[in-house]
Structure 1
Amino acid sequence: MTEKTINPSLQLILDIAEKLILERGCRNTTLQDIADQGGLTKGAIYHYVKSKDELFGLILEAGLQQTNRRFMESVSDSVSQKTSSRGPIELLARRLHALSDGSNAIGLIFIYLLSQKDKPAIAEILNRYYATSIQMTQSWIEVGKQHKVIPEQVDAEKAAKMFAIFKNGLQIQNLVSLESGHVPDDEIYVFVLSALGIKDV
């Protein structure tokens, strides 16, 4: 997975891929299917990625970037409007909840790639996804500290790694235990507060 600017053409490819993944699953979605749905050639897709797996990695990365944008916008809104900082934390809790949902393409891609971690190219995609996720979470924690919402003594790196474990666990839990249902939003919200040593805001 490499750093790429998500331009409108690439965004169209990512959107079509997500739609097909939800309809057919990761294994049954091909680059040809994506090209056909978008009225594109496979060459247009190969302009951005070398393989289906790399395209799936881009979807994971785009999901992180979107969450990061929304979080920073929510923080900015809270600061400018001098409102409660509950908004950014609720946003993160909702994002964690969405990842545990079987109808979420990002969760399906994560499980699909995880099942093939023995392939070096896929291991690299997953390692980068993990590292980027940790880095973003650390930055969110540092922003929370700057705004006096998160206690100064919270170790941002350790907390970020624990969140990664929790997030990955939610994604896998849905796959192995459908009968148990999803963890409710409010329980995830309470977990986030507790993990960061925050009293309800």
Structure 2
Amino acid sequence: MSRTPDFRDLVGEDLPAGERERLQHVHDLLVAAGPPPELSPELEHAPDVGGSARLLPRRRRGAVLLLAAALAAAAFGGGFLTGAVTHRGAAKPVALVVSMHGTAAAPNALASIRLENVDSAGNWPMDFTVTGLPKLPRGGYYELYLTRHGHIGAACGVFNVHGGKTTVSLNAPYNLRRYDGWVVTRHLPGRPEISGRPLLTT
């Protein structure tokens, strides 16, 4: 089995501190997410779950592409390109992976949503992995929502973090084609005014 490439070997030593920190977050999430699976038959026409693309500066774009290519090569060498992810000893086919990035309220936060195949009852189980969010005080929690036209539409579950990387199992029992994005918000006791401010978005 090939080892996961060392982050410093991939990006070198000449990056600014801020850029290095962001790429380190990307590296950690890519390692946690694993290789991309084959498209599920249920998603021959995949739902639009939001997100937009923009070109990165040439140097950063090159570093990210190099990082992704090296991780894919390591995964292939380990025999993991099977279209499924192993979690707690069971193979779980993945239908879609959605990436999220931090807003101005949490600029260093990153997350990925690994949607499993929809079940017969209409549930979309998912593994949600997040890094860069602080641990909240007692009684506080984070919540993942689906959005439509920039407005919160449906709740997909709550979670807490310990300040590092956190992975939790959540669920979206909805028709995803009715929504066009995802956000994460936080809830704090006595601070209802902040519950609608996104910390992460697609």
TM-score (norm 2): 0.29
In terms of fraction of residues, the more strand-rich structure is 2
TM-score (norm 1): 0.29
